[in-house]
Amino acid sequence: MKGDSNTAPYFGLLLLSTLGMIVLAASMDLILLYVGWELMSIPTYALTAIKKKDPNSNEAAVKFFVLSALSSALLVFAISLTFGITGSTSLPAIASSLGTLTADTRSFALVAIVMFVAGFGVKMAVVPFHMWIPDAFEGAPTTVSALLAAGAKMAAFAAAFRVFIVAMTAVNIDWYSTFAIVAIATMTLGNLAALMQKSFTRLLAYSSIAQAGYVMIALATPFTAGGVPLGLAGGLFHVLNYSIVKTAAFVAAAAVATKLPTNTLDSFNGLARRMPQTAFNITIFFLALAGVPPLNGFFSKVMLFTGAVYSPYSWGGYLAIAALLNSGFSMSYYGWLIKRMYFDDPADSSRIKEPRAYTSVMWTATALVFIIGLYPDPWIRLVQSAAAAL
């Protein structure tokens, strides 16, 4: 944004959206949760359209706004139904009330759960609510795409964890299998679509959809058979790892876009010769997203898959197998791009001066990837305590 006339609004909107994410993740009341949701969402519409004269940016912002407004309406509907059957908007009070549902109010609780799933699903970009994310990520400035992918999306997961784990667990309805089906569909579609992309940002967008499928395993199998919240802890751990890696991947995309005329995958041919620092960091990020040891993504996926295997549900093992197969399949497009960077010949072999602001962020993220991967114990204890608190 250096030298841009919209610098002041850009940082103001960024801070407001970040504040909304903090409120959203910390709220234990549905009204406060909705205030945080809107405080997070509204600035991101303007941030997506911050390039006022770019028609792609404007189109992406409109699509994002329309679907996000729909998700907000669904959340308000779900909150109103929940208040109607429980008489409270406090999550602990709702949990105690939902445990004593009558036959007359049970159907309203089911509708509220469906509305919560759809409302949160748009921001989480899970199938079938994912349609806005490729266009929004490609049309928005790349750094804003990083905020949407690693900030707003993960804050939506934090809100979903609050609502479903704290409050809706008391409802005697099998919504866990629904989340399992959504997780498998999200992982599979995201990975298959990413394999067919010609744009780096769209590849990252569909990869982001696939990663959301892995986090959904935490909602499908939050507890092991002994009641230990291993799946939920794995989901929180993957949120942390994904946020670090995906933010840095979009920063790498921005670094390439500032130096090369196009951001198609052809621009990455021989990138290791032209921008060696960027190419190396992208390789580390992709391997971390694929779950290759000893990088950070490996341990969060191990916790998620183990939580699924030892869950009290008969289909937990099948969910873990599907996730493992998808994780292996993701190496097809990650490895393909790594091959382009290191083995394909570029149209121009001249070295490019890599922007220091971008490389500093990438190297910091790479350091965190290795630190968390090589010393996972303190991070695992942190997410386990957070899961136990939920």
306 lies in the same domain as 193? yes
CB 198 within 8 A of CB 134: no
CA gap 268, 254 in Å, rounded: 13
**Best CA proximity match to 250, nearest among 299, 221, 286:** 286
220 lies in the same domain as 368? yes
CA gap 57, 4 in Å, rounded: 16
285 lies in the same domain as 371? yes
249 lies in the same domain as 361? yes
Helix axes 316-329, 200-220, angle to 10 degrees: 160
Q: Among positive and negative, which fits the CA dihedral 7, 8, 13, 14?
A: positive
- Segment (H or E) for 255: helix 230-259
Query: Which two tokens mark 266?
Result: 């052809």
What is the tally of structural domains in the chain?
Answer: 2
pLDDT score of 225? 67
279 lies in the same domain as 382? yes
Q: How many CA atoms lie within 13 A of 297 on its CB side?
A: 23
pLDDT by residue, tens only, the chain of 390 residues: 777 777 888 889 999 999 998 998 888 888 999 999 999 988 988 888 887 777 877 888 888 888 888 888 999 999 998 888 888 888 888 888 877 777 777 788 888 888 888 888 888 888 888 777 887 877 778 788 888 888 888 888 888 888 888 887 777 777 788 889 989 999 999 999 888 888 888 888 888 889 889 999 988 888 886 777 888 888 899 999 988 999 999 888 888 888 776 667 778 888 888 888 888 999 999 999 888 888 888 988 988 898 888 888 888 888 889 999 998 888 888 888 898 888 887 777 778 888 888 899 999 999 999 999 999 899 999 988 888 887
Domain span holding position 342? 174-390
pTM of the model: 0.88
**Which of 152, 172, 192 is where one domain is finished?**
172
Sequence-distant (6+) residues with CB within 8 A of 98 are 85, 86, 109, 167, 168, 170, 171
CB 303 within 8 A of CB 237: yes
* Residue carrying structure tokens 């909602």: 219
CB 7 within 8 A of CB 1: yes
**Which of 172, 204, 221 is where one domain is finished?**
172
CB 132 within 8 A of CB 63: yes
166 lies in the same domain as 26? yes
* Residue carrying structure tokens 């898959």: 305
Question: What 8-state DSSP symbol labels residue 247?
Answer: H
252 lies in the same domain as 165? no
168 lies in the same domain as 180? no
CB 133 within 8 A of CB 208: yes
143 lies in the same domain as 207? no
Distance of CA 197 to the CA centre of its chain: 19
